[in-house]
Structure 1
Amino acid sequence: MVAEYVTGRQFREGLRRPMPGAAARGLGQRPRVVPAFTPQSRQRGTVVAPPKASAPQRRAPDRPTAFRRFYARGDYPLALEFDTSGFKIAWKVELEKLDYEHYLPLFFDGLRETEHPFKFLAQRGIEDMLAHGGARILPVIPQLIIPVKNALNTRSPEVICTTLKVLQSLVLSHEVVGELLVPYYRQILPVLNVFKDRNVNLGDGIDYSQLKRENVGDLVQETLELLEQHGGPEAFINIKYMVPTYESCVRN
């Protein structure tokens, strides 16, 4: 009887083969990946899945806005014009006769737009309505919180800078707006806490974004200070609760 010749490679592969009956006992198999803190994580032949990487400043996917849909239908009483000074808005009705409860939330929803002409129309329309709104803005404040929150939650630096500038204009549009925004700090401020310290360190270089007011960290600080100055006596404690690193500009 002649013995079968076994090469070195075959011998090593034989060492890696599972033992007879190992499959039935759950041995020698590739471990199964299961979620953490579950009953499956205590079973044999399983490994816990690693946690997902945290990315609080990752940009959220773009979603279609109601502002663009209504503009495509021609529901806005305005037109986009161009002259020697550039683009401008031509209103077809007087702003004093405009229904703020209907149009102002729609224009705030357009803060998420980054394409022309939707971005320009939303910003300029909000600017005009806040400048001529006065007391008519106050009843609309609760309807503006969700559009502002959605714009900030995009995590897009461009959209956040635009939204913060509009939020500052909203606070300055009427002396009571700052106090009316205090109950909504929990919806508005969490994203500002993430971008508060986002500044560009250029050493001895020149940061031109400060001149254009496009530095997210500086705009967040300006907005928080403005909210505290116009938010009344309860503004600072509510800001401090949502943004622990913020220091008062009034008390100090």
Structure 2
Amino acid sequence: MSHPNEANKHLSTSASNLRSTRIITSVTSAELSRPHSAGSSSSSASSKCRPGSGSTPRSAPGSAGSRSCGSAGSTGSRKVSDRLNPKTVDHFSPSTKSLSSFATLYNNGSIPCRAFSLSLLFQVSSMPINLYLSAPCFGIHETVHPYTFIARQGFKELLATSGAETKVISIIPKLILPIRTALGHSDVTVFEAGLEALTQLSTVAGMAVNPHLKSLMVSIAKHSMDKKYKKQITDSLQELEINGGKEALLQIKARIPTYQSVCS
């Protein structure tokens, strides 16, 4: 039988071990129950934004937290089809660009002609030139089919009608502006069409074009040194000189000194 003192000593040791075990257990439980910093922030944020959660956000209305929850809700309200099929450019939709003056007149039926199989279905000889010649002249700078063909072919055929020499003189000032616009255009085909229209007008009107050559030569001189236009410009200038005489030659030489006269 053990001594009473040894028994008391054994009991006290067991009690102290039990107390230390309880302390360690409580500390370990506290550590396990305490969330990590990153996890706590994410869980708290999710609880704040989760609808129907018991916890309420501490931020005041209009703060950053409330705005973030609102933005998440608005994103979630979008349709699934909007996210899977984003809007793109529709290349098959009709163009929203406004039509030019000539295209508008043509579509409204103000120009009595229609293009069919690369021919014009109207009698040019029965049309008054002084009324209809300015319309295709304004369409010279067109770049879209069929306006390009209708305007250029119509201008050519109207000038080729009988009696055009006397009728066209009164409307020359109206024709110079669109021709000058075409000569200053950046498109190659438009510039060539303007140069051809000027040559055709000079062939019909003759010296009546001379007072307007000064303003027209500015745009022609810019392309006179370009090999791409050299032959066509030379041919047009020769026609202007032949039809306009010495006065036309002076206007040409004033802007293009390298031009060689064909009449001297």
1:90-129 CA distances to partner (integer Å, 9 max, x unpaired)? 01xx433323222111111111011110001001111210
SS of 2:155's equivalent in the other structure is: helix
- Aligned with 2:182 (options 136, 151, 155): 151
Does the 8 Å CA contact 1:189/1:239 hold for their aligned counterparts?
yes
User: CA offset at residue 227 of structure 1?
Assistant: 0.6
- Aligned with 2:111 (options 68, 73, 76): 76
User: CA offset at residue 239 of structure 1?
Assistant: 1.2
Aligned residue in 2 for 1:167: 198
User: CA offset at residue 63 of structure 1?
Assistant: 8.9
- Which consecutive residues of structure 2, in runs of 5 or more, have no partner in the other structure? 1-96
SS of 1:247's equivalent in the other structure is: coil
Aligned residue in 2 for 1:58: none
TM-score if structure 1 supplies the norm length?
Answer: 0.61
Aligned residue in 2 for 1:142: 173
Amino acid corresponding to residue 72 of structure 1 in structure 2: N
Stretch deviating more after TM superposition (181-190 or 240-249): 240-249
Aligned residue in 1 for 2:143: 114
Residues of 1 paired with 2:217 and 2:100: CA distance? 22
1:220 aligns with 2:220: no
Stretch deviating more after TM superposition (121-130 or 63-72): 63-72
Does the 8 Å CA contact 2:221/2:255 hold for their aligned counterparts?
yes
1:188 aligns with 2:216: yes
Whose strand proportion is higher, 1 or 2?
1
Residues of 1 paired with 2:214 and 2:187: CA distance? 20
**How many residues are aligned here?**
166
1:171-201 CA distances to partner (integer Å, 9 max, x unpaired)? 22x3xx22111110122111110101111xx
1:232 aligns with 2:245: yes
Residues of 2 paired with 1:68 and 1:144: CA distance? 17
Larger RCO (CA within 8 A; separation ≥ 6): 1
Whose helix proportion is higher, 1 or 2?
2
Residues of 2 paired with 1:187 and 1:63: CA distance? 29
- Which consecutive residues of structure 1, in runs of 5 or more, have no partner in the other structure? 1-61, 200-214
Superposed, 1:1-252 pairs within 5 Å as 65-82=100-117, 87-91=118-122, 94-132=123-161, 133-172=164-203, 174=204, 177-199=205-227, 215-251=228-264
Does the 8 Å CA contact 2:182/2:193 hold for their aligned counterparts?
no
User: CA offset at residue 64 of structure 1?
Assistant: 5.1
TM-score if structure 2 supplies the norm length?
Answer: 0.59
Does the 8 Å CA contact 1:111/1:151 hold for their aligned counterparts?
yes
SS of 2:245's equivalent in the other structure is: coil
Aligned residue in 2 for 1:57: none
1:108-156 CA distances to partner (integer Å, 9 max, x unpaired)? 1111011110001001111210110342222221110001011111132
